[in-house]
Structure 1
Amino acid sequence: MRALATGKLFLVGTLLAVCNASTDNFLPQRYQLGTKPSITTKPLQTGQSVTLDFDKNSVVTLDYGYEVAGFPYFQISDVKGPVQIEVKYTEQFDGLNHVWADGPYYFTNGLSNSFRVETFNITEPGKVESYFIQGGQRWQSIKVLTKGHITLTGVGFVPTIDRVDLDNLPSTFTCSNPTYNEIWKLGANAVAAACFDANSQPSTWEVTEEGAYIRGQKPGPGVNGMDWTDYTMTFSSRIVRGGTGWSVSQPISESGLLLLLISNLPDETTFVNTNKTLTPPNSIVVASGWGFVNQTTLDSQLVGSFPVSVDIKEGEWYKISTTLLSGSQLSIDIDGTPVLNISLADYGVSALSAGGWGFGPYQDQIALVKDVTVHASNGTLLYENGMRSSSILSEYGVRQNTEALCMDGAKRDRLVWLGDFFHTSKVLTSSTSRWDYAQGTLNYLLDTQLPNGLVSIAPQMGYNTSSLKEVLYSYYGLNDYQILGVLSFTGFFLRSGDLAWAKSVWPSIQRQISWILGEIDSNTQLVSFSGFLGDANGTAISAALVQGLKEAAVVADALDDAKSAQTYRDTATKISKAINELLWNDELGVYVRSTSSNTSYGVADIAFAISSGVASEERAASSLAKVAELKLTPGYKDVSTTDSSSADISPNTNGFLLAAAMEANDTSIAKYLLDNLWTAMTNDKYSSGASWEYVAQDLSPGLSLFTSQSHPWGGAPTYVLTEHVAGIRAVTPGHRSWIIQPAISGFDLDWVAASVKTQYGQLSVKWELGNKMLTVDVTAPRGTSGILSLPSSIQIKAIKVNGHKVTSGHNISLQSGSSVVTIQLG
């Protein structure tokens, strides 16, 4: 139940009464009482109560066992107080030892809590729920801050994602190596946590007759004024608790100028853990960048806190005017009284560019906002909004999600990243089989398409996507993400075979491809732009396009678009020829980065040269041999010129390599990655049960607490194990015809079993090796057929299919139904 908090709870805790917790909620599995967080925990029994006391056992550590997400709730049976409690959330345990846990996350509003710490004032027994979603965490701590005690009889999360049984998914994988089974689950759990249904992520604002009721969060910039400079933004605000916050000169999805007006912080509404050094009473706090505190890669510069001459009282309305001239001269008036006039340049802040305005108080603060106006420097009224209509939710990017979507990460990067969906789309089809998530995400991305064919690379939730086309200038960058976006579409279609859906989006995909083809250098026949994968006129991006065109041609065939299919194949052939002529370094024996960087090479160059089919068998083997020079403790660094001493390892790019190595039958590289890079993610000291964004060379998360540890782009083994170790792959879209090509050697496995949900039914395989006998049990849906393809390296003495001898050699034709193939090995 989510309603505007009123009365006593309104004043002290932003707590909302909720219904009884159902058994479908996420519940902690283990706990520990003490005076500080503890990674050593013990089982938490059903119905067990826990008492926290300020003088002893003031902290309880809760371990959910794996990544969960939702609305935190607390069932309290007894209170001696009132008692203030501080609650922390984190993916890795160590976050509980830090002031801000593993946050805050100011990268995007994300329809979730921007902060990983929140405080509550408990005055009476009952069940209470946090207003905000926590996007993803394994660990939680609750600490009593004031004299007294509370008894908890229930703690958990009301889910905002699917509760899935990872041992009974629609598509499955198991084998004789328990670690590989856990590795397969990493990707499955990542998509389970990062993907969710339409309307499951409510707005983080409430629209009332008095204005927008906004709790502490990243300011949501509106879609207006993105190219405006030298304006005055005026609004009225009533502080409910702590302060009110706003931004100016803030582009969507970028940093800007952040401001807080802090109240006089009265004792009756101020939490005891309020940071009065950062947010002193009766002050204006100014910061440039992403937030008020640094969080690894999101640089923030605290300009300072400036006392105001006005006594700022909670519960009273103030009219606040902010003017920023020449990107540097900042002045603020309150009710017509000047309270701040500074040059940001004097504080080392570079001149700010054009941008709009937004609203969002700081951690644990609450404020009402109304009557927003914006005037040009000449006094012309540019904008006016009373902030009392629900239309402001989509304008300021806080509208409930209207589509089923997959985020880039569960706790952070809660945007829809176009290129990163390359892996996610395949993980979905190999695990949860939520095709609606893949289709919803791709539809959402294509809704941002410009007339020239470009698709936004990272649209936020909460906005009307059509309005984003005019303002997301910078989010049509990373041009190679357009290619990865095409590959996300083709990869999903080839596995799902959903022809009706593919037909509905095909014109948009073709426009996107048309834009990419327009960027081919007519002199080199290579792709002329650089990007995430590599350099302009380089191997990785050009080879990725070859792969995209070949797969798009298969889609065109399925849609009876023969003309497009021929065009795509012909173009792929030309680019492939150019790569082999211009980018193969015969002396080094590897495909190089680009025509202008012909002695360096990287993981993506080698991976896409192989997966696209550009590389011959000989050149693929030579390139993979060169990968050894990129080898570090957990995996392979991205580029040969990268400083090995400081490199983090990317499961994203190593995922490209993992699949390519298997396609080239190089199980040694694949095994090294599984046994090191992905095994690191199962270490209980850091594990979230999901795949990570980066891995450091000491096998810890690669960006410290900032690391997203439920990031589907790191989940490649989930589909690679299914498709290359179990061996289930589609030959025609949707697995109407299929191939079972198991990797029966190289991984020290005795048996492997996998199943994939197709539009025709379950396609399953189990193979078992022992006593010079290989047994392969295949169950195929009605209306499908395929081939069991055995490695050419094995010697076959005899083959039986369902007890009958056959003489098929290494490729055995199978029909629908159950087939038991026994192979006597030589």
Structure 2
Amino acid sequence: MRISFVALISVLALQPQHTLSRSIIPRDGKGDFFTPIGVAVGNEPTSQVGCVAKFQLTPSSPVATLDYGSEVAGYPVFNVHAVSGKVQIEVKYTEEFRGLNSNYSDGPFTFSIGLSNTYRVETFEVTETGPLQAYLLQGGQRWQSIRLLTSGSITFSSVGFEASIPKSDIDNLPGSFESDDNNLNHIWSLGAKSVAVACLEKGTQKAIWDVGKDGAFVRGMRAGLSDQGAFLKDYTLEFEAKIERAGLGWAIAHPLASPAKGIQLNLVGNLPPETSFINTNTSLTPPNSTWHTIKTSLSNGQYIAVAIDETQIFNVSLKNYYVGGAAIPTNGSFGFGGLPDQSGYFRNVVVSDTVNKTVLYKNALTDPSKVIAEYGVHENYGSVCLDGPKRDRLIWLGDYYHTIRVIGASTSRYDLAKGTLELFLDWQSPSGLLPYNPYMSYDPSTAFDAFNRGGIGAVAGREVWSLILTDYQILGLLSMTDYVRLSGDLDFVRRTWSKWQLQVDWLLNQISPSTGLLALIGGFLGPSNGDSASSCALVQAFHNLADIAEALGDTAAKTKYQTAAVALSDAINKYLWNASLGLYSLSTASIGNYSVNGMAFCITSGTANATQSAQLLSALPSLKLGPGYRDSTLVNVSDPSTNISPNTNGFLLAALLSQRTISAAQTSMELMRSLWLPMLANRETSTGASWEYVNVGGDPGLGLYTSLAHPWGGAPTYLLTEHVAGIQTAKGPSGFGYQNWVVDPFGGIAMGIKRASASVVTAFEGNVEVKWQIDDGGMIDVTIKAPRQTKGVFKLNGAARFLSGSSIYRFREKI
């Protein structure tokens, strides 16, 4: 969803020394495996695969295509049955099939280190039979191809991935949904699949550097950056390096967090034929290893010089390099990586002030305890939910809003959900702010200051990292309140309550004393300074927080948050409600414009009354674009590159279904069919999971870069459970963990659904399960199962049937 820039400068070196031994490693045979559902062998990749069986690649049939049926993730495994002659294979991984026909597949992913392979294409030389495993993780893909590059032949008995994620059966999850509309059933599964592949258990994403007495062995990847270099400027980096294969790379003047600009340099070996891969592009890595001493100097805020073994290679002004009009900075950290299929050793790193030669940093890179965590290549410290499994493998604060509710309706992995919230709190700043996109591979206890004050090239002493996308603070807060509501985990919030209150106090301090509106410096939902979307979202958060405060017995906090909700809601209606248009303005500076986010949160927060909500939704047709709704009236409807966001349309879907009107329910059905069914329609683009963006034609919205397993696009999963089958928590703290629940099938009935069932995990012994069916006579037969210690109410046609004291309830009502 977000793109960073890296300036690339190539450097040439001398005599190479290559080996092949570290490209592949013996697998341990432990753990779960993903295996393909279909394989095809031919001259080119094909999506028309046949039965899985042993297959052979030869010069006349050099390409195998493997289809895993849906998104999988893990460490590539190759079981070699036979090998003859010289065999080199090029392997590609991609979510969308057409990536197999792209030079770089659907990568590379330089946005973050991600504890995965930066590149989606890798090459191996195979010399023996038996099981072999690639060292680097491939985080998410449906399709894979293996191309024979040489004149030999190779036979595979099987190929697959050693799973790096919990292996879940989407058809048999703790939470479930099923109806007589099979399209809705498949749409529900999209979000369930996305959280199944994006949520990770602690320690499953392994460290990606090998550190020992010879130094740090680094394979081709986005550079791992030292958390000790965040505040460096005009410095000299010196280290020793030895190429093992093809070349190696290093970064300098690179801010730690994304988005970031930095300088990536590459040292290329001689590439002798006997140890080179056939598919190496020598036009990109021209010829030109014993250990070499490499020195890179930054000076005067604009110059960079590189010397190898005391021979100067160049000394240039960065002003001569065009990067979209922006100056290349000379401040930021340093680190080590490389291009595809490169690998090498690094050791004896010294950083000094370029002018006065004062030593600022030293590390021999031989002690794992002093390297792996510092450079952000440590295995994942906790259980977390990522933005997506293949790309942006960070924990995005605001994007978690949908994820937690999808988890509650499907996988019920509240342990992974809580782990994500705990990680945010581990990175919390003294002011109360949470990070907007923390890494899973840095230790916050040592790296916090580097990221918070130097993460994006900030001036030392100023908190900046957490101030990016400041409305994500609100969405993150809402994620926590929904976690407590769904899981009933009051112990967690009781233990961390002071930290959440600190964050809320920061938000309260951002409310303008003159208007009473929220005034943030930037955001995702909208302008964020006097805008309707973030202000209404904060009203929703205040209401939820008041419920938690009540459950904790904190009456002062309850009153504080209730008062804040009323005051902010009043200000929104005073300054942003445009009575002549019947709309909430985008912001005080953009009175005539409006947005999906503003509509959605002003409705779901209760800021809009029933009349206002109806007026808001009557304006929806003006935002219709392709398979969904554009974010706001500012989006250019004639721009063919405009994308539709399942994330923001998910906010809207919740608002529509909350209205409990036939027209809103029918609009919801139309929206789900138009925006989410394209994610299932084409097997070459479908991964079984919800997408990040959709273009106006119904295809992936960012091309091959699009994340096709993105939990932020999974809102229908929980909304179908809540509004079609009808299972909801009761309002207020009595509903936490489904101690009190509601079954209200209005949405499903209004959509024309004749039969639906669903199940959700409770905080008690057992699930709440509902099954209802409408017969030809207009009667609805209902069966509800629930833990005996819970209570519920069934709502229909304005009437309520109260249910308690049993574990199963059966009845029949007139529609």
- Residue 740 in 1 paired to residue 743 in 2? yes
Q: Spell out the pairing of 1:651-662 with structure 2 (5 A cutoff).
A: 651-662=646-657
Q: Which amino acid aligns with 2:56?
A: T
Equivalent in the alignment of 2:314: 340
Q: Is the 8 A contact 2:246 2:269 kept in 1?
A: yes
Secondary structure of 2:616's partner? helix
2:416 equivalent among 430, 437, 443? 437
Q: Spell out the pairing of 1:354-365 with structure 2 (5 A cutoff).
A: 354-365=331-342
- Residue 650 in 1 paired to residue 645 in 2? yes
Q: Which amino acid aligns with 1:782?
A: R
Q: Is the 8 A contact 2:302 2:330 kept in 1?
A: no
Question: In 2 relative to 1, CA 343–509 (structure 1 residues): closer, same or farther, beyond 3 Å?
Answer: same
Secondary structure of 1:132's partner? coil
Equivalent in the alignment of 1:681: 679
2:274 equivalent among 258, 262, 268? 268
- Residue 623 in 1 paired to residue 629 in 2? no
Q: Is the 8 A contact 1:13 1:121 kept in 2?
A: no
- Residue 614 in 1 paired to residue 620 in 2? no
Report the number of matched residues: 765
Q: Is the 8 A contact 1:780 1:815 kept in 2?
A: no
2:526 equivalent among 534, 539, 544? 534
Report the Cα offset of residue 471 of structure 1: 2.1
Q: Distance in 2 between matches of 1:327 and 1:175?
A: 63
Q: Distance in 2 between matches of 1:278 and 1:352?
A: 25
Report the Cα offset of residue 746 of structure 1: 3.1
Q: Distance in 2 between matches of 1:13 and 1:208?
A: 15
Structure 1, residues 577-613: CA drift from partner, whole Å, max 9, x if none? 1111111111111111111111100100000001101
Q: Spell out the pairing of 1:228-627 with structure 2 (5 A cutoff).
A: 228-253=232-257, 254-282=260-288, 314=289, 316-349=290-323, 350-377=327-354, 378-390=356-368, 391-472=370-451, 473=453, 474=456, 475-476=465-466, 477-529=468-520, 530-535=522-527, 536-627=529-620
Q: Is the 8 A contact 2:18 2:244 kept in 1?
A: no
> How does the TM-score come out when normalised to structure 2?
0.92
Q: Distance in 2 between matches of 1:487 and 1:346?
A: 47
Report the Cα offset of residue 402 of structure 1: 1.9
1:759 equivalent among 753, 757, 763? 763
> How does the TM-score come out when normalised to structure 1?
0.91
Report the Cα offset of residue 468 of structure 1: 3.3
Q: Distance in 2 between matches of 1:71 and 1:401?
A: 15
Pick which of 132-141 and 814-823 moved more. Answer: 814-823
Q: Which amino acid aligns with 1:784?
A: T
Secondary structure of 2:316's partner? strand
Equivalent in the alignment of 2:139: 135
Equivalent in the alignment of 1:817: 807
- Residue 33 in 1 paired to residue 11 in 2? no
Q: Which amino acid aligns with 1:668?
A: Q
Q: Which amino acid aligns with 2:366?
A: R
Q: Which amino acid aligns with 1:681?
A: M
Q: Which amino acid aligns with 1:439?
A: K
Structure 1, residues 395-433: CA drift from partner, whole Å, max 9, x if none? 100111121111111000100111110011111111100
Secondary structure of 1:42's partner? coil
Q: Is the 8 A contact 1:12 1:121 kept in 2?
A: no
Report the Cα offset of residue 9 of structure 1: 11
Equivalent in the alignment of 1:15: 24
Equivalent pairs: percent with the same residue? 42
Q: Distance in 1 between matches of 2:659 and 2:322?
A: 53
2:104 equivalent among 100, 104, 124? 100
Report the Cα offset of residue 178 of structure 1: 1.2
Q: Which amino acid aligns with 1:777?
A: T
Report the Cα offset of residue 668 of structure 1: 2.4
Question: In 2 relative to 1, CA 34–271 (structure 1 residues): closer, same or farther, beyond 3 Å?
Answer: same
Q: Distance in 2 between matches of 1:203 and 1:20?
A: 19
Q: Is the 8 A contact 2:94 2:141 kept in 1?
A: yes
Secondary structure of 1:574's partner? helix
Q: Is the 8 A contact 2:803 2:809 kept in 1?
A: no
Equivalent in the alignment of 1:291: none
Q: Which amino acid aligns with 2:787?
A: P
Q: Distance in 1 between matches of 2:505 and 2:170?
A: 40
Equivalent in the alignment of 1:790: 796
Q: Distance in 1 between matches of 2:638 and 2:742?
A: 42
Q: Distance in 2 between matches of 1:21 and 1:375?
A: 46
Q: Is the 8 A contact 1:13 1:122 kept in 2?
A: no
Equivalent in the alignment of 2:213: 209
Structure 1, residues 535-571: CA drift from partner, whole Å, max 9, x if none? 2111100000000010011111111111101100010
Report the Cα offset of residue 467 of structure 1: 3.0
Secondary structure of 1:362's partner? coil
Equivalent in the alignment of 1:703: 702
Q: Is the 8 A contact 1:326 1:351 kept in 2?
A: no
Q: Distance in 1 between matches of 2:248 and 2:797?
A: 66
Equivalent in the alignment of 1:74: 78
Q: Distance in 2 between matches of 1:403 and 1:246?
A: 28
Equivalent in the alignment of 2:462: none
CA RMSD of aligned residues (A): 1.4
Q: Distance in 2 between matches of 1:203 and 1:521?
A: 46
- Residue 718 in 1 paired to residue 722 in 2? no
Q: Which amino acid aligns with 1:383?
A: Y
Secondary structure of 1:239's partner? strand
Report the Cα offset of residue 20 of structure 1: 4.2
Higher relative CO (CA 8 A, sep ≥ 6), structure 1 or 2?
A: 2
Q: Which amino acid aligns with 1:85?
A: I
Q: Distance in 2 between matches of 1:228 and 1:459?
A: 21
Q: Is the 8 A contact 1:9 1:16 kept in 2?
A: no
Q: Which amino acid aligns with 1:689?
A: G
Q: Distance in 2 between matches of 1:494 and 1:479?
A: 24
Q: Which amino acid aligns with 1:271?
A: F
Q: Distance in 1 between matches of 2:806 and 2:233?
A: 66
Q: Distance in 2 between matches of 1:660 and 1:466?
A: 40
Report the Cα offset of residue 21 of structure 1: 7.3
Report the Cα offset of residue 136 of structure 1: 0.2
2:114 equivalent among 95, 110, 114? 110
Equivalent in the alignment of 1:51: 56
Q: Distance in 1 between matches of 2:720 and 2:103?
A: 40
Report the Cα offset of residue 343 of structure 1: 1.8
Secondary structure of 1:164's partner? coil
Q: Distance in 2 between matches of 1:353 and 1:339?
A: 19
Secondary structure of 1:789's partner? strand
Pick which of 663-672 and 505-514 moved more. Answer: 663-672
Q: Distance in 2 between matches of 1:776 and 1:758?
A: 20
Unaligned runs of 5+ in 2: 1-16, 457-464
Q: Which amino acid aligns with 2:439?
A: Q
Question: In 2 relative to 1, CA 645–685 (structure 1 residues): closer, same or farther, beyond 3 Å?
Answer: farther
Secondary structure of 2:362's partner? strand
